């Protein structure tokens, strides 16, 4: 197995989770359900997912100089993630997410960014050597866009592949997409970026083509249990997903990205890497909590062997 570096730049939060019969409407109080607290944050989930899938991971982030920040760093260390480039902010608290999860595993999330919003271009410049020496740079959008752009520029200048999960959904600077090797929106994020509602293969292909035209090298549109649509030069391919009983979908897209980065760092073919990532995400939604739900390498491989891993991609 290859031992190539994966650098993750992104957010670290603590999730406060309430499992309820349904997600409250505005002005409504819903009784019942259990409370739990778990490590979260899109960047942290990606870093942990990559580490547990077998990756050699460095995490660049900013946490508060508080209980939640110290707890997060201890957790990263326990997963053998290099946390030496995580800064402790003495002015802003660690990020917090309030998560409602309904009986069908659907969620609603509000995030207080805290120290995540202070992760800056200067932090990235201090970490330039680590990014330049990586095989893959993995990012999301729970940190300032300027910070994302700075990291992508360093990666591009050093021939480092950039995987970007464009979430939370927002418009992207055109110059950023030119640095992105692989863009991994879900169907809602793809619609936000293209204006195309994804309902079938044809609309997924149209959205993928639009994102390629905007500058992305490859586009992977994640569709949950329906799998992943790949759009790349000369490729329009659907990789099947896995049907499981969902308990909590929080962080599934980030688990997908972390596992994908590992598979690609091991030189797996893109469709095989996507199948591996689909499996990791499928396992994660069967458990409660963002980071606690992340599977380890042996679980992913066992799941794939039991499901007849190589579901055949559909070429059209």
Q: What's the CA gap between 263 and 256, in Å, rounded?
A: 11
Q: What's the CA gap between 294 and 281, in Å, rounded?
A: 8
Question: Would 4 be classed as within a structural domain?
Answer: no
pLDDT in tens, 73-91: 999 999 999 999 999 999 9
Question: Would 3 be classed as within a structural domain?
Answer: no
Cα–Cα–Cα angle for 65, 47, 300, rounded to 5 degrees: 140
Q: Please, which pLDDT band fits residue 36 given cuts at 50, 70 and 90?
A: confident
Q: Which of 160, 159, 156, 140 minimizes the C-alpha distance to 148?
A: 140
Question: Would 41 be classed as within a structural domain?
Answer: yes
pLDDT in tens, 129-152: 999 999 999 999 999 999 999 999
Q: Please, which pLDDT band fits residue 185 given cuts at 50, 70 and 90?
A: very high
The pLDDT value recorded for residue 308 is 57
Question: Would 134 be classed as within a structural domain?
Answer: yes
Domain that holds residue 311: 9-25+32-315
Q: Cβ(100)–Cβ(107) under 8 Å? A: yes
254 assigned to active site: yes
% of the chain exceeding 90 in pLDDT: 80
pLDDT in tens, 9-30: 999 999 898 989 999 999 999 9
Task: Give the chain's domain count.
Answer: 1
Cα–Cα–Cα angle for 225, 140, 229, rounded to 5 degrees: 35
Q: Name the DSSP class of 286.
A: T
pTM for the whole structure: 0.90
- Where residue 299 sits, what CATH number does that domain have? 3.40.1190.20
- Averaged pLDDT score across all residues of the chain: 92
At residue 186, does pLDDT exceed 60? yes
Average pLDDT over residues 222-245: 93
How far does the chain reach from its first CA to its final CA, in angstroms?
32
One of 56, 82, 135, 254 is an active-site residue; which one? Answer: 254
Q: Cβ(304)–Cβ(280) under 8 Å? A: no
């Amino acid at each position: 197995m290859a031992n190539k570096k994966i650098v993750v730049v992104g957010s670290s939060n603590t999730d406060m989770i309430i499992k309820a019969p349904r997600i409250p409407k505005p002005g409504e109080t819903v009784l019942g359900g259990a409370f739990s607290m778990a490590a979260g944050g899109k960047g942290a989930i990606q870093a942990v997912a990559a580490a547990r899938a077998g990756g050699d991971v460095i995490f660049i982030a900013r946490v508060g100089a508080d209980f939640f920040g110290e707890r997060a760093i201890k957790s990263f260390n326990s997963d053998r993630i290099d946390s030496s480039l995580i800064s402790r902010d003495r002015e802003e608290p660690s990020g917090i997410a309030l998560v409602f999860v309904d009986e069908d595993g659907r969620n609603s999330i509000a995030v207080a960014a805290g120290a995540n919003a202070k992760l800056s271009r200067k932090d990235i410049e201090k970490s330039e050597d680590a990014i330049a020496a990586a095989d893959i740079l993995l990012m999301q959008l729970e940190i300032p866009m300027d910070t994302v752009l700075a990291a992508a520029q360093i990666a591009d200048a050093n021939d480092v592949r950039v995987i970007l999960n464009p979430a939370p959904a927002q418009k992207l600077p055109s110059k950023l997409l030119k640095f992105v090797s692989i863009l991994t929106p879900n169907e809602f994020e793809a619609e936000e970026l293209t204006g195309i509602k994804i309902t079938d293969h044809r609309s997924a292909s149209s959205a993928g083509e639009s994102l390629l035209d905007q500058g992305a090298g490859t586009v992977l549109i994640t569709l949950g249990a329906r799998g992943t649509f790949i759009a790349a030069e000369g490729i329009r391919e659907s990789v099947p997903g896995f049907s499981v009983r969902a308990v909590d979908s929080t962080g599934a897209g980030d688990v997908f990205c972390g596992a994908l980065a590992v598979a690609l760092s091991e030189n797996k073919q893109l469709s095989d890497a996507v199948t591996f990532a689909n499996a990791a995400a499928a396992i994660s939604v069967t458990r409660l909590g963002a980071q606690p739900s992340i599977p380890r390498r042996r679980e992913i491989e066992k799941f794939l062997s039991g499901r007849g891993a190589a579901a055949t991609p559909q070429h059209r």
